[in-house]
Structures are given as structure tokens and as C-alpha cells.
Structure 1
Amino acid sequence: MTSSYLNFKDKHILVVGDVMLDRYWHGGTSRISPEAPVQVVKVSNIEDRPGGAANVALGLAKLGISVTLVGIVGNDENGDVLTRCLEREGVTCRFVRSKTLPTITKLRVMSRHQQLIRLDFEEREDSLSQNEALARVVESCLPESDAVIFSDYAKGCLADVQTLIRLSNVANVPSFVDPKGKDFSIYQGATLVKPNLLEFETIVGKCHSTKELEIKAKALREQFGWKALLVTRGEDGLILFSDDKPPFSLATAAKEVFDVTGAGDTVVAVLTAVFVTSKRFTDAVEYANQAAGYVVGKLGTASISADQLEGIMFKRSHGTNFGVLSPEDLLEQIKLSQINGEKIVFTNGCFDILHPGHIAYMKQAKALGDRLIVAVNTDASVKRLKGDKRPINNLVHRMSVLEGLGAIDWVTWFDEDTPKEIIEYLTPDVLVKGGDYTIDTIVGAEHILAHGGEVKVLTFVDGYSTTAIIEKANL
């Protein structure tokens, strides 16, 4: 596949499904209750996170997609908390408020990163009026949507999902389903359905070989009129069935699995987001696979940004231990280089429009060691620092140009306003900054010096400025 920059501008995705509030009570345990042989947890922190379909919507918002979330919540405080959590991240909430049902809430009591107990607050009521109210909201949202995701957690919101799929088809809006349950006929007519292997085998029976899986998948897709069927198989990767093409299989992108929480939500979010941009199922599956590999390598429910995702895909397409690498992969290469006695030099910047001053600076920096790293601000970071009209060139464009410079060994990226976190994460041997800085004002200098490294200030070549170039070109 030829990776192109993920342009989610002006794209809008509708998410419909079972929303819930994931609440965590964190605290220490130092004694046993005198009332019963149970631990006493002194709660010191309460954390609220969107769960279920709300986590799918949150993942889309993190990608920079415009997203509307439709679901059922109670007319209660937890419904208000969930709404605030989502709207703070840019999600538009169009909730149906139930007067009889509570907002689904899962309360986890945590101590020292261990879950001691989970308490679920939920009731189910498949009323005709509830289904009709939900359908009206969905129908009103479809005209502005490029796709709709139905996120089914079998909690009742999608009891009449067949009506919602029909509404999507009438509006010519592709529908992507993350299914649940023992009856997939309710998803008839959807564009793509994404069960995991267990959910798939619950419907078709045990598959004893890949060939048997392919036969049953083809039959199921044809039976229910889906354009595509994606079966996720954990450590065995993903397999896509679409049209009359041969199955498209991918090995898992995960290197280490720390936590699979939310991985399915990430897959369906990224899958749909990329499809509305590229219109190709295979592109969407490749990106979704890489995103899932990223989030399962993080503790807790993790999200991925468009910049992070594109950086991973860019590195993957180049297939080398040099050039563009994610911060995680770069750390591995730094350790190997340092074992071999090589000195690692680090610098950073936006590098929006590369000019001769930058080239001279890179050559000077490389001369201070054996390997040169350039960390680049993501597009979101540049906007925060330089304004809405910047960057002129997107992250992948900027990294690609830098990668071509002979003085540079590695290019990576960071999303924060300063490089402090990535400097502390990579801990290079030499930190370089250009300009009128003094060492004590350089971000990350204290960390490098404390670890026995060096901090150098280089003088930029006079007469060159990205801002001046932009002003001259009237950009």
C-alpha cells in the first residue's frame, strides 16, 4: 500500500451504541476491616472515562475526526458526567435521556494498579418509544455524516439496529458494525461487520482451519449482504473478506501486549476513519491493525492520534532501522548504538520549510557525534506554537524531507509543546540547540547533564528564516 497523509478535515462520523461511564476509585490499602475480612481502601482519587460506544467516539475525536455520539443515558448525574467528559474532547453528544433507566456505569475499585472489585450499575429496557426516539435522532444526524459506526455491547441501545441500518442505507451512508450476541441477522445490509474470532465462531461454529474460516466467512457475508467482513483474531492478526477478492490477511502489529482494553474500539474507529478518506477496505484494515498494535502496548485504555498513526505507517513502509522511527522503536536503536560505543546527538524543531540554514545546522550537529536524531513537532503541536495557518507542510512531508538529508540518521516526532518528554525518554548523549540560548534555558538540558551528557548551543547561519520565507511568498 502507498501511504498518504491522513486528511480527516471536514470528515464527520456518527457513532451509535451502548454508552457507559467507566469510573475508577483509586486508593491505598493498609488494613483489614473490623466488620468483615475485607481490605479497607482509602479512596484518594476518582477517575471517570467514557466507555463502550463512548470510547469509540473518543478515539475518533483523538484522530481529529468530527464526531457525533448517539446513545441512551439516564436522567442522572452520571449521564451529565459522561457528557462533560466527551464534550471536553470535542465529541457532540445527542443522547436520548431515559426517565426510568440509569446511565450504565462500571465502578472499579483499584489499589496499587490492581482491581479489587467491579460494581456494575445497569438495567435493560427495550421499549418501543425508546427505539423510536433513538431512530429519530439517528435519522436527523445521517445527512451530515460520512459514515456511521454501530457499537453493540448488548445493553439494549441497538435492540432495533436493523431499522437504523436501513435508515443509513437510504441516506447512502456506509455503516460499520462492532457486533455482539448470537444473532447476526440483525446486522443485515451493513457495509462492514467486525466480529472477533470468538464472536464469529459463536455464529458459524468452530473453525478448525483457516480454509474452513474462509468458507464460513464467505457464506456469512453473502447471507447477510455485507460488502465486507473483518474477523479479528488477537495474536493471529486480522482477515478481511470483501467482494469477490481473495481474503486479505495481516499478522498482528503488536510487539508486546500489556493491555487489550479498548483494542476493538480502536480498530473500528480507525477502520472507519481511514475508509471515509481512502474508500478502500484494505487501506482501512492496514491502518486499523497498526493502531491496535500501538494501543495494546500501552497500559489502560489508550488512544492514538492521526500524527502518531501516520508516523507508524510511514516508518513501516520504509522498512529500515534508520530514517523515520516511532519514539519506541528509536529507543531500541539508540540502545544498540550506545552498546556499540556510538555517541547519539539530538536536536528538534518544526522544520516547516527547510532552508540552507537548516542544512548547515544539521551538518554541525552531526559533527558532534556518530548518530543524529531530529525530533519534529506534530502538526497539532506546530499549530499551538505557530498559529492556525501553520504548518505549511504536514508532518509526513516534513519528516520525509529530513529523512533525505545525509547528516540525519533518525527522524521521529513529538506531540507536546516542548521536547522535554521525548528528551527524557530517549536520553541522548548530546543535546543540541541553535540560536541565542544559554544552556540553563534549554529544555531538557538539566536531564541530559544529570545523566552525564553534553549540551551544545550552535549559531544559526544568518540570512535564513522560515517565517521570512513564508512572508515573502505571502503564504
Structure 2
Amino acid sequence: MTLEKIHCAIESLKGHKVMIIGDLMLDHYMIGGVDRISPEAPVPVVRVESETSLLGGAGNVARNIASLGGEALLVATVGHDEAGDTLEELCNEAQLTTKLIRDPSRPTTKKTRIIASNQQVVRVDQELVRPLQDREFEELFKYLQSIINDFPVIILSDYGKGFICREFIDRFMDMIKECDRRPLVLVDPKTVNYDLYKNVDLLTPNTKEAGEGAGILVADRETVIRAGEALFERLDCKNLLITMGGDGMALFEGTESIRHIPTFARKVFDVTGAGDTVIATIALALSAGMDLLTACTLANYAAGVVVGQVGAATASSSDLNDAVDELPEPDVSIWKE
């Protein structure tokens, strides 16, 4: 795969559509310093100096697609609360098209991280893990039915908050069978929900998630292959991408074709959100009509960009072009053919 081909692929991402359905959350950061211990308990007193809020979960996936020039539609649920209003504002700032279903019976999922002297002191989660109520569930599918044919690729972004459940999957898979052209379905999996993901087009677990789904410890090339074969047998998915951090990615196009894509990270500061970047880039590339290997190669460049930044970051088209220019041509190797 030449660098010229990769540059052309990056430019062709712009303007293509991807729908993201799943768990949206508000990532809230309180940042400050510590200069004393509380007299009430042996805990540090954090003096807050700044606060910031970011799109988390499925919102970060959508933000990555928009950053690359794609058109992202985010379908998710929020509560009737201040955090839900903040998420709606952040989606507008990121130029995302959204369908945010307001559920009065649940709070918006919010993760507050308290940071002192560049160290996370504690994380506070506010959430209610359960499926949508009947009325909101019907609202969701009425909306999906009206727009499903406009999207060639759909990401199910499952963070285990209950949005992606058995009832959702069964009805969703039945619905896409009736589409004029069945969309590709990509899933970033949650281990507890593995059995929901049967017959999807691409799963993107990391090595830990792949090992948990396969019931083995994944530590090297041999166990990556074994885990992948076990997941195919369990789920009958079409394709599988196991991300291996600094060791790159293993792409299974069925069980008989396995290729290894090396990592393109120049430096690693923070892996937060790298999985969101990977699935977002692949989805947008597939929407643009690329083959899966090219899509995964672009995703590896994008992941290499975001892990070199602190926090849940995104990669732009110019970031990818710069990374491609600074690195050698990717040396994709065959693990099985």
C-alpha cells in the first residue's frame, strides 16, 4: 500500500455518512491542586482551578468522524437535566446531527474526573444502567425507520449502559434486513454483551476484550489467532479487528485471512479514546467505499495520532496526512492465508 494511495484515501473520507447508535455520556473534568489533607478524613483536599466538559462514549466516536470530514448522525438518550443540556450544546459545537431521546426516568450518564497535579484522584459516575422505557424505545425505532436507508454504515457504540440490549439488537437486525441496501454494522463490544453481536459485519475488541470473549488469555500472536477463531465460532461475525496497542492490529477477514498491521504511533501519552478513533475511522472509510484493509490502515494512523495527545482526542485529515508523510510505508504482514 503506497503512501500516495493512503493520501488519496484520506481525502476521499470527506462528506460521507455514518450513523452512531449507543451510549452517550458527559465526560466532566475538575482540575486543580492539592496542598493539604482534609481534617475530616485522610483524603486530599482538591482546590478546583478549572472545569471542562467533553463528549464521551458514542459522542466521542461521532466527534472523531466529524473531525475527519465525515457527516455523523448520533442517536442516543439523555435525561431531562443540566448534563443532558450540556451534551446537546457540545454536539452542536462539534457540528453533529443528533437524535437525542430525552428519557425523564433516567439521569444523563456523567463521569466526573477530579484531577490534581496531573493525577486522577477519583472518578464519580452518575448513571442508571437499563434499557429505554417502552415509549422512548418506540420513539427510537420510529426515527430509525425513517432514516435508515440514508446510511451505508452504522456503528453500535456499546458502553454497557443498557441502550444496546437484546430487545434493541433483535429489532434492529430485523429492521436492517428490510433496507433497500443493508448497511454495514460495526460494533465496539462490551464483554458482558458479546452474545448480542451475532452476524455483525465487524467487531473491534482490544486484546483484553477479545480474550474475555474467547475465554483465553491473549498475550502473543498465537493466542490472538486462537481468540479470533473462537470469537468467529461464538458469534459468526463477518470480520474481526483485534487492536493490540503498541503491537498494532490483527485483521481477520473470516478465519482464513489474517493480516497484521503494525502500529504507527510516534509517541504514546494517553490511550484514552483510541478505540473510538479506530472504529470511527474504519466506518467512515467503509462509507467512502474503501476495502477493509485500507480502512484499518487509516485507522491505525489515526490511533497513532490520538495516543500522542492527552485526553480523549481526535485526528483530522491534516493530522493523518502529516503522520503519513513522517512515517514509512506500512509493512502489512500475512499471519494466515
Could you state the TM-score of these two structures normalised by the residue count of structure 2? 0.87
Residue 133 (structure 1) aligned to one of 129, 133, 139: 139
Partner of 2:203: 193
Counterpart check, 1:142 vs 2:152: no
| Distance apart, 1:202 and its partner CA | 1.0
Q: Deviations over 1:369-422 (max 9, x none)?
A: xxxxxxxxxxxxxxxxxxxxxxxxxxxxxxxxxxxxxxxxxxxxxxxxxxxxxx
CA separation of 1:154 and 1:318: change in aligned 2, threshold 3 A = closer
Letter in 1 for 2:307: V
Once the two structures are superposed, the pairs formed by residues 64-83 of structure 1 within 5 Å of their partners are 64-83=69-88
Residue 249 (structure 1) aligned to one of 223, 238, 260: 260
Q: Deviations over 1:189-211 (max 9, x none)?
A: 21111111111111212246534
Contact 1:165/1:187 (<8 A) preserved: no
CA separation of 1:115 and 1:280: change in aligned 2, threshold 3 A = same
Once the two structures are superposed, the pairs formed by residues 84-233 of structure 1 within 5 Å of their partners are 84-127=89-132, 129=134, 130-159=136-165, 160-171=168-179, 172-206=182-216, 207=218, 210-221=221-232, 223-233=234-244
Structure 1 distance, partners of 2:127, 2:159, is 12
Residue 269 (structure 1) aligned to one of 258, 261, 280: 280
CA separation of 1:257 and 1:169: change in aligned 2, threshold 3 A = farther
CA separation of 1:36 and 1:277: change in aligned 2, threshold 3 A = same
Letter in 2 for 1:15: I
Structure number, greater radius of gyration: 1
Q: Percent identity?
A: 34
CA separation of 1:40 and 1:317: change in aligned 2, threshold 3 A = closer
Letter in 1 for 2:204: K
Partner of 1:300: 311
Structure 2 distance, partners of 1:263, 1:248, is 20
SS of equivalent residue, structure 1 residue 90 = coil
Contact 2:34/2:116 (<8 A) preserved: yes
| Distance apart, 1:55 and its partner CA | 0.6
RCO higher in structure (CA 8 A, sep ≥6)? 2
Residue 294 (structure 2) aligned to one of 276, 283, 293: 283
Deviates more, 1:208-217 or 1:21-30: 208-217
- Extract unaligned runs of 5+ from structure 1: 320-475
Partner of 1:50: 55
SS of equivalent residue, structure 1 residue 155 = coil
Contact 2:131/2:164 (<8 A) preserved: no
SS of equivalent residue, structure 1 residue 95 = strand
Cα-Cα RMSD: 2.1
SS of equivalent residue, structure 2 residue 154 = strand
CA separation of 1:110 and 1:216: change in aligned 2, threshold 3 A = closer
| Distance apart, 1:313 and its partner CA | 2.6
CA separation of 1:227 and 1:318: change in aligned 2, threshold 3 A = closer
- Extract unaligned runs of 5+ from structure 2: 331-337
Contact 1:52/1:151 (<8 A) preserved: yes
Letter in 2 for 1:46: E
Could you state the TM-score of these two structures normalised by the residue count of structure 1? 0.63
CA separation of 1:190 and 1:83: change in aligned 2, threshold 3 A = same
| Distance apart, 1:216 and its partner CA | 4.4
Q: Deviations over 1:182-232 (max 9, x none)?
A: 342311121111111111111212246534532442353355342211111
Contact 1:182/1:202 (<8 A) preserved: no
SS of equivalent residue, structure 1 residue 168 = helix
SS of equivalent residue, structure 2 residue 61 = helix
Structure 2 distance, partners of 1:223, 1:31, is 53
CA separation of 1:94 and 1:31: change in aligned 2, threshold 3 A = same
Contact 1:14/1:141 (<8 A) preserved: no
Structure 2 distance, partners of 1:244, 1:210, is 14
Structure 2 distance, partners of 1:104, 1:185, is 24
CA separation of 1:140 and 1:314: change in aligned 2, threshold 3 A = farther
SS of equivalent residue, structure 1 residue 94 = strand
Aligned residues: 319
CA separation of 1:32 and 1:127: change in aligned 2, threshold 3 A = same
Counterpart check, 1:41 vs 2:46: yes
Once the two structures are superposed, the pairs formed by residues 8-27 of structure 1 within 5 Å of their partners are 8-27=13-32
Structure 2 distance, partners of 1:40, 1:219, is 48
Once the two structures are superposed, the pairs formed by residues 435-446 of structure 1 within 5 Å of their partners are none
| Distance apart, 1:276 and its partner CA | 1.6
Contact 2:186/2:203 (<8 A) preserved: yes
Structure 1 distance, partners of 2:49, 2:219, is 49
Q: Deviations over 1:102-149 (max 9, x none)?
A: 000011112222222111101122255144333333333322213111
Structure 1 distance, partners of 2:262, 2:329, is 18
Contact 1:147/1:173 (<8 A) preserved: yes
Deviates more, 1:144-153 or 1:126-135: 126-135
SS of equivalent residue, structure 1 residue 163 = helix
Contact 2:65/2:72 (<8 A) preserved: yes
CA separation of 1:127 and 1:64: change in aligned 2, threshold 3 A = closer
| Distance apart, 1:250 and its partner CA | 1.4
Deviates more, 1:203-212 or 1:182-191: 203-212
